[in-house]
Structure 1
Amino acid sequence: MGPFDWLPHAPLESLQLDWLNGVELAVLRLDRIDPLISGNKWFKLTEHLALAQAAGASGIISLGGAHSNHLHALAAAGKRFGFPTVGLLRGHPQDTPTVLDLKAFGMQLHWLGYGGYRARHDVGFWLPWREQYPHLYPVPEGGGGIAGALGCGVLVEQARAQLSSVGWADYDAWWLAAGTGTTLAGLALAEAGAHPVYGATAVPDDHGVAQNVRALVQDGYELLDASRGGFARVDPLLLEFIEATEQASSVLLEPLYTGKALLALKQQVEAGRFAPGTRLIFVHTGGLQGRRGFAT
C-alpha cells in the first residue's frame, strides 16, 4: 500500500502586497501540488503511510470533521492509489461538500456525535475500531504526531532549493498557520535552529496546540494567537482582508487557516515586529476545498 515514490513539488513564489512595508515575502504554494491531494496534508500522511506498510496494513482509518482537509486528502489519496480508507467524523450525519467528496472517493464514514468524538484521546478509544477494521492502520486527527511532523521536514528542502527563483540567497524565518501544530513542529525539527518558525494559531489555547508542539520539538519556534476568538470564527475584517489579498495577487486563501495566518502577519508587520528587508517564507497550507463550506 502507498504511493511512496510520489513526492509532489510545491513552488516558491514572491508575493507583493502593499502592507509589507519593505518586508520580503515568498509563498510556498502547497495549494498547488495537486488538484485534490492538496496542501500540507499529504506531507503529514507520508510517514504514516510508511508505518502502515511496515505494519502490514492495507489501508488507513482516521478522524476529522465535516469540512476536514485531512480526511479529504486521505480519501483522495486512497482513491487514486488504491487503498481503503475509513473516516470517523465529529458530529452527526450531514452532507457538506467535503463529506460528499469523501463518499465519492470511496471512504467509509462513521459519525461519532460530539461526545463520542471528544473521547478520541481516551485510553482504549481505538480498541473497538481496531477490532472492526483489523487491516487498517489508525492515524491521529489531522495526521498529527511525530510521524506527521517528520513528513513535513521535506518542505524545508523544497524551499531552500528554490530560493534563487525569488532572488534570495537565504531567508530569515517561516510563517504559517497552526491548527494542530504538526507542520510547524516538522519545520522546526528540520531547521534545527537555523531559522525560526512562527506559527499563527488558528484555534484557541484550549485546543492544545502549544502542548502538541512541545511534545514534538523543544525550541526554534514561536506561537502567536490568530484564532480571532475561536476555531472557524469568521468576522468581516478577516473576509475583507481575504478579498483584498485575492484581488491584489494570484493567491487564494480560506478563512480558517491561511487567511487568519496572513492577516496576523499583516498585524505583526504593522506593529513593527519585522524590519524592512526581513525575508519570510509563508507556507500556504492549502485547504481551499474548505472554502465551499463558507459559500453563500
Structure 2
Amino acid sequence: MSDPFCWQRLYQRQPPSPLQRLHHPLLEHHRLILWIKRDDLLHPLISGNKWRKLKYILRQALSEQASGILSFGGAYSNHLHALAAAGHRLSLPTIGVVRGEPHSNNPTLEDARRWGMTLEFVDRQQYRRRQDADWLAELARRHPGYLIVPEGGSCPRALPGVAELWHELDPEPSELNELILPVASGGTLAGLLSARPANIRVRGYAVLKGAGWLTEEVCRLYPPAAQDSGWQLELGHHGGGYAKSPATDKTAIAALAERLRVPLEPIYSGKAMLGLFRDIEAGRYAAGSRLLFVHTGGMQGARSTL
C-alpha cells in the first residue's frame, strides 16, 4: 500500500539544485555571463526535469489512491527510469509501455525491472498511437485504476512542479536576461512559461528533427503561451534527430563538458549546450547578457552512448 506521507518525505526534504557559474573563452570574448542550474543533481535516481514534472503527478496518484501509474517511453527513456524509481520509493506500482522488442535490454530497462516496473513492449507502429483515444481507453480497461501519463510526463499536472524552478534562483543570479533549456516533449518549456518573469526571455533548443510541431504542443499544454512573445524555439541544432549526433558533435560535446566542468550527454543538455555555444560564436547573444542554462538531467539514458 502506497503511503502519501512518503511523497512529502521524498519531495519536501530535497534541497534546491545548485547554481554554478560557467567559464569559457567564448563567454569572455562576447562579454556574456552564463550560469547553469544543475537539475541533474536534484536526486540520484529521479533526475532533472523528470523530478519536477513527476512531482504533482505522483501526488495525484497517491491522493486518488490510484492502482498505479502507466506511461510511455523508448528503451532508454529517462522518464520511465525516473517513474520506476519514484514508484519503487513510494510503493506505487508502475507500468512502462516501451517502444522496442520484448528481448530489449539495457541499463535503463534493467533498473526499471529491478524497481518493479512492468514493461509492455510495442512496435513503432503501435507506439505512434500513444495519444490515440481508442488505444488509451483500451489500456485503461486492461489496467483499471491506473493513472495514465503521457510520454515524458508532459501534461498540465506537470507544469506547477517545473514552474517552481523560478523560485530557486535567489539570491543569484540576481538579474537574468534569458533562460535556456533543451526541449523534447515540450512539458518543461510549458511549465517554465507558466510562471515566466516578464523581464526574462526563455529559449528552447529542440533536440528532435522536424520539431516545428513543438510550438503547438507547448501552447496546448499552456494555452497562454500562444500570446506570449517572450519565448522562442531553436530548431537547427538537433544533430540529425532525437538521440542522434554526428561523431564530430559528440566529440565537441565531450570537450565542452570537460572545459565547463559539467557532465553533459549528447541527447538533451549536451546537444542544447553545444547549440548555445555555436550561437554565441555566431554572435546571436547580445554582449552583456546574463544567461541561465537549465541542465535537465538524463545522464542515465546516455550510459550506452557515452
Range into which the TM-score falls when normalised by the shorter chain: over 0.9
Residue 296 of structure 2: which of 270, 273, 285 is its match? 285
Aligned residues: 290
SS of equivalent residue, structure 1 residue 92: coil
Aligned twin of 2:231: 221
| Distance in structure 2 (CA, Å) of the matches to 1:154 and 1:201 | 22
Residue 119 of structure 1: which of 96, 118, 129 is its match? 129
Does 1:234 pair with 2:245?
yes
Contact 1:4–1:46 (Cα < 8 Å) also in 2: no
Alpha-carbon distance change, 29 to 162 in structure 1, aligned in 2, over 3 angstroms: farther
Does 1:55 pair with 2:64?
yes
Question: Amino acid of the residue matched to residue 97 of structure 1?
Answer: P
Residue 48 of structure 2: which of 39, 43, 50 is its match? 39
Aligned twin of 1:276: 287
Q: Which runs of 5+ in 1 are unaligned?
A: none
Alpha-carbon distance change, 230 to 49 in structure 1, aligned in 2, over 3 angstroms: same
SS of equivalent residue, structure 1 residue 259: helix
Question: Amino acid of the residue matched to residue 59 of structure 2?
Answer: A
| Distance in structure 1 (CA, Å) of the matches to 2:157 and 2:198 | 20
Aligned twin of 1:189: 194
| Distance in structure 2 (CA, Å) of the matches to 1:203 and 1:23 | 27
**C-alpha displacement at 1:112, in angstroms?**
1.3
1:243-278 Cα offsets, whole Å, 9 max, x none, are 212221321001011111011111111121112221
1:175-234 Cα offsets, whole Å, 9 max, x none, are 000011111111111115331110000012257322211212222210001212211111
**C-alpha displacement at 1:52, in angstroms?**
2.1
Does 1:100 pair with 2:105?
no
Q: TM-score, normalised by structure 1?
A: 0.93
SS of equivalent residue, structure 1 residue 176: strand
| Distance in structure 2 (CA, Å) of the matches to 1:146 and 1:221 | 19
Q: Which runs of 5+ in 2 are unaligned?
A: none
**C-alpha displacement at 1:50, in angstroms?**
2.8
| Distance in structure 2 (CA, Å) of the matches to 1:16 and 1:134 | 52
Alpha-carbon distance change, 97 to 207 in structure 1, aligned in 2, over 3 angstroms: farther
Residue 200 of structure 1: which of 194, 199, 205 is its match? 205
1:44-82 Cα offsets, whole Å, 9 max, x none, are 011212332343314211000000000000001111121
Q: TM-score, normalised by structure 2?
A: 0.90
Residue 174 of structure 1: which of 176, 179, 185 is its match? 179
Aligned twin of 2:148: 138
Contact 1:188–1:196 (Cα < 8 Å) also in 2: no
1:142-189 Cα offsets, whole Å, 9 max, x none, are 001221222200011112x241xxxx4211110000011111111111
Residue 149 of structure 1: which of 153, 159, 180 is its match? 159
Percent identity of the aligned residues? 38
Task: State the superposition RMSD in angstroms.
Answer: 1.6
Aligned twin of 1:13: 20
